[in-house]
Every structure is written in C-alpha cells, then in structure tokens.
Amino acid sequence: MATETRLGGDLPVVDAETAAAGIGTEDTLLTSGFGRAGYPKALPLALAASDREFSLTVVSGGSVGDEIDTTLVEAGAVARRYPYQATASARDAVNDGSVAFHDRHISRLGDEVALGYLGGRNRENTEDGVGSGNGDGTRGETVAVVEAVAVGAGWLVPTTSVGHTPSYVQAADRIVVELNRTQPVELEALHDVYNRALPPNRGTIPLSTPGGRIGSPRVPFDPDKLEAVVETDRPDSPYEFRTPTAVDDGIAENLAGFLAGELDRNPVFADAVNLQFGVGSLGNALMSSFADVAFGDRDVAYFGEVIQDGLLDMLDDGVLDSASAASLALSAEGQERLFGDIERYAEQVVVRNADVSNSPALIDRFGVLAVNSALEVDVYGNANSTHLSGTHVANGIGGSGDFSRHSALGVLALGSTARDGAISRVVPMVPHVDHTEHDLDVVVTEQGVADLRGLAPRERARELVEQCAHPDYRGPLEAYLDRANEGGGHIPHDLEEAAAWYTR
C-alpha cells in the first residue's frame, strides 16, 4: 500500500458486541475464510457469547477456525452450514443432525450465493424454513462478515485469503468488516481480485498464465452496505501439518516416478507443467517429491486452491516459477516466513478469488496436473472423499471435484490402508461417491501406481487391485472380483459382499 493507513475515511467503527447486536437471530452470515485463513474471529465470538438464541446460516469459502466451527457451533447458534467444515464440534453437530449441512463444489459457490440458492433467500417464510426468518415474521437478511487488513469507503483489502469475499460482499444486504491489525498490510501486494459477471453475461477470464495478474488488490463493494468495522488483533489459527509418514514417503516416491515418465510421453506437459495438490498434510508432503523430478526447461507453476508450506519450499528451491491460489493455508512457521519477506514472495505468489482459482475453464486452459486424496477408492475407480462408511461426514469435497474433473490429468493419491492396517482403503464398492470413475485417471498408493486411462471396468479393477491394494487385502479383493464376475455385467458386483466390507 502507498501508506500504512488501515482505515480509509470516516467509517462506522464499533466493538464486536455492538456489531453482534445488529445481527438478526436467523440471518445468513457470508464469512470470509479459506483453509483456516482470513476468516472473521471477533464477531463470531461475540455472537456465541450473546444471550440471544440464534439460528444462523453460515456460508464460508472453505474451512475456517474454531471461533466459527467450534465456539459458535457449540453455542447452538448455527442451524445451517455451507460448504465445508473441519472441526470435531462441527462434524458432530452435522452428523447428529443438529446442524443442516450441504456440501458444495467451491467453483460454483459464489454464483450459488449470488443467485440465492443457499441460505433461504428464495425460500417461502414457513415455520420450518431453517434460516428463512427472524422469528417475527420477517425474512432474515444476508450479512457479509469479512476480514481485512485495510478498509475504506467502498473497498477493502483481504488478509490471508481472498476466497469468495468478492462474491459475498456483492451479494450481501449488509457488510461487517473485521479489521485485523495482526496481519501485515503488505499482503495487498499478493492479491489479484477479478470480479465476474453472472451468466449469461460472463466473459472469458483473461488470464493467460497461472502466475499472471488481471485484477485489483482491493475488493470493491457498495459503501452504503457497510454497517460496521470491528478492529481486532486475533491471529489466524495456523495450519498444522503432521510429520510425513513412511506411507506418505512411499506415495511421494511412486508419484514422482510416474510423473517422470509422464513428462516424456504426454504432449500436454511438453512445455509447461501446472500442478495442483489437495489441501492437507499428505498434499503438503507430496510437494517435496517434485524437487527431484527433472522438469528440464519447462515452465513449472502451481495453480490451485491453497498455498501451503511445501509450495514455499518449491519456490525457494527454484522448482516453481509461480504459485496461484485463493488462500495462504500456512503453518505458524510458514506465516512467519512469508510475512517476513512478502515483497520477494509477491513476485511469484498470487492470491485470487476462488471462482478464478477453481475455474473449470482455467483448469482446462492450463492443462493442470491435479493430485488429490480421498478416504477410499473402489476397484472400479470411484472415490469417496467425504463420508466415513458412507454415512458420517468428515470435512467436505472442497475443490477436489473442480480439479479432478477438469484437469488434463487427475491423480488420486492415498494410503492403501487406514487404522494401522485394520481397514483397506481399496474396497469393492464405495458407499458414497464424490468422484466417479469418469473423473480419475491415475491412482497412487505406497504400493504402486494404477494408470486407469482407456481401461474397461474389469481391466481397471484388476489394475487397481494388483498395483495399489495392500498385500493383506489383495487376495480378498481378487476373490471378490472372481465372485462378482460370475454374475456378469459391464461393472460386475456382488452387492451383498460389497456391503459386508462395511458391516463386518
């Protein structure tokens, strides 16, 4: 920024409790935040501490911190949640039915909010319409609650994530901005906000390279919507990455070996390799495997949802030319590292709005090589990334569907077993499908690599079992396929036995 000014003009600065008093008991809160970064903190805590009974709809961009998905949920203030959650309290509330949860693809979320698909804006004001009224016969309003490092009359500068903030402030009836003074104002140098019109008036996104810039560092909004500015000094909850395991290392080694061969035979990657990794410890660990890949004189970039510590390593090691995402999902050490040298990182790091970072058109344009994980995969290549035993939600689909379906090469990376080998993650039939057999090209475990491209279902099944299943489960899976094939069909199954893998 040209100056250190965080407050631009005569703005309605109030404390969190005053701002909370202006929230209706059944309003919809559109919160900033993506990958536990850049989310509001003071207002959710004030709402949780209030003596009013809330039945709020909360829509974030991705995962947020404990202030929303633990404290506010445990206060009984959240009735409905979109599109992702990542705390034990939120999971418990969703799984016991006390919070209505709807999982959504990230790329479409901003449009769905703008069009009134989420949060009750298009619902009739009925007694059982969750999130559709304020208990007095009036419909709840939509309030954007977003975090910023600076704010003025009609503009704000996001903190550690851009996410869906641009879409949310446009769609909201009212806006509350949390001005976070723990975040450096220099974050402005990373942001590239590009506002898109709704269909059918939407043009082509004019981005020709993953690391290019096409927008502004600031998010514009109607100044008449600004209801309150709340100053806070509460930092993000930093991401915690577990130490890579032997299984992680095995997956990384197999993935790197596969990629080395793919670079030689796939013309999509002849001149450039544009990568994406799923959010989390495995994705972060897999990034290290690419340090030993011989990319030659190819341009190598990251085009994905979040920037994690492993990407900073790849930038510092000269592996990556640029990294583009919607959020900085960093550990405490990673934040300190980036904040301490923002000017240098700004030459290579771009933080965008999520409808650009996850745009199917751009994923296709850049020929992204997408690497995501899942809870389990079945022998035909269908993956379950969200629901334990098909019933209990873990987190959410996030952007994995955006990248798996629209990438030039969709890779699923996961361990072959869970719970110290007690459960096979290669199963006869997944009980919940997030990514179909049509979305995935390659499966990688610590056991090996199954290249499923061009294979018929029975061929896929043998390849997956032989290459990716743990030896302890390979025999039972092969026996399952033999029994299933006796019944015939294009995709043979023994439904009773498939279910028994979960009921036993």
Pick the catalytic residue from 67, 188, 227, 305: 305
CA atoms in the 13 A half-sphere facing the CB of 83: 23
322 close to 210: Cβ distance less than 8 angstroms: yes
The position carrying tokens 């035909």 is 380
Looking at the DSSP assignment, which residues form a beta bridge with residue 161?
327
**Phi, psi angles (nearest 5°) of residue 481:** -65, -40
| Element spanning 309, H or E | helix 309-316
| Spatial distance between the Cα atoms of 290 and 275, rounded to a whole number of angstroms | 10
Inter-CA distances, 447 with 44, 162, 255, Å = 45, 38, 11
| Spatial distance between the Cα atoms of 270 and 474, rounded to a whole number of angstroms | 36
Angle, alpha carbons 198-112-106 (nearest 5°): 105
Looking at the DSSP assignment, which residues form a beta bridge with residue 392?
388
The pair of three-digit structure tokens given for residue 73, joined into one six-digit string: 């949920």
How deeply is 490 buried, as exposed, middle or buried, from its count of CB atoms within 10 A (0-12, 13-18, 19+)? exposed
Of 281, 328, 333, the C-alpha closest to 306 is 328
The pair of three-digit structure tokens given for residue 256, joined into one six-digit string: 């790197």
Beta-carbon count within 10 A of 250 CB: 17
The DSSP 8-state label assigned to residue 270 in this structure reads S
Helix, strand, coil share of the chain (percent; to 5): 35, 20, 45
305: annotated active-site residue: yes
The strand pair at 376-378 and 383-384 is best described as antiparallel
Active site amino acids: 305
